Amino acid sequence: MPQSLKRLKLHGFNNLTKSLSFNIYDVCYTDSPEQRAAYIAYIDEAYNAERLTGILTQVANIIGANVLNVARQDYDPQGASVTMLIAEEHPGGESICNSATPGPLPETVVAHLDKSHITVHTYPESHPHNGISTFRADIDVSTCGLISPLKALNYLIHSLESDIVIMDYRVRGFTRDVKGRKHFIDHNISSIQNYLSRDTKNNYQMIDVNVYQENLFHTKMVVNEFRLDDYLFCVDATELSDKEYQRIQRLVRREMMEIFYGRNLSREIERWTMPGRATPED
């Protein structure tokens, strides 16, 4: 477990780099070319460069950054990217808090940070052979100084509704106190989960893989409740036969588990559970 740290009195600038990589996945059943095209069009509209810029601007506010420059691009035929260069706003010290508690929600954004960057890239994807379309957004928030990007997690999760979330957090480098002693981390952390609100924890099952001695923290999440109706696009569930309903349910569930566990599952395996939950009877 990480050693408890008192408030540090530093010599000069805080040279620690705190990096959060935040990946979300959305899964949808799209059986026809028309359904796939409609899903991709929806994703391109919902996650276009303009909206993503707005989300990243709020992230900058939460971690206390001044936005210096924005580069954004919508791609043809699909996808978008936004990159922000950000700079510190010289916080008053007491206003910054890195305690292992959830950050603000979208309606309670606050502000202050350091020279660094925030980026987002989107990856819509589909294949005609399995009837599944997916969408992935990769967000990287890198800060240098007092505030941790973990304080933006609540806002990101609530702004980007997703089926699967995979997060990596790492503190790099070192900073020196007034006595010249090196410090390789400046805040207490035992799990990324400590920065998530109660409703998020209730909505997801989570797994941690942490390497405390290297200041590496990894958490992945998958939605608790599975309702096939939430994964049908341009398809009315009431029009499906029981056999077709069960087939699609197994297909979507397998896709989610393959993404969550990071490996392909056997085609013969038809019953998989969300972590910690029993599989409903098909």
Q: Would the CA dihedral through 175, 177, 180, 183 be positive or negative?
A: negative
* Residue tagged active-site, from 112, 133, 144, 187: 144
What span, in angstroms and rounded, lies between the C-alpha atoms of 113 and 96?
Answer: 9
What span, in angstroms and rounded, lies between the C-alpha atoms of 91 and 65?
Answer: 10
What Å distances lie between residue 87 and 33, 144, 243, CA to CA? Answer: 45, 9, 56
For this structure, is 234 an active site residue?
no
For this structure, is 4 an active site residue?
no
Structure token digits, residue 197: 């609100």
Q: Please report where in the chains the tokens 């499906």 appear, as a residue.
A: 240
Burial of 88-112, coded b for 16+ CB within 10 Å and e otherwise, reads: bbebeeeebebebebbbeeeebebb
* Residue tagged active-site, from 19, 117, 121, 234: 121
* Residue tagged active-site, from 28, 112, 116, 142: 116
For this structure, is 116 an active site residue?
yes
Could you give the residue numbers annotated as active site? 116, 121, 144
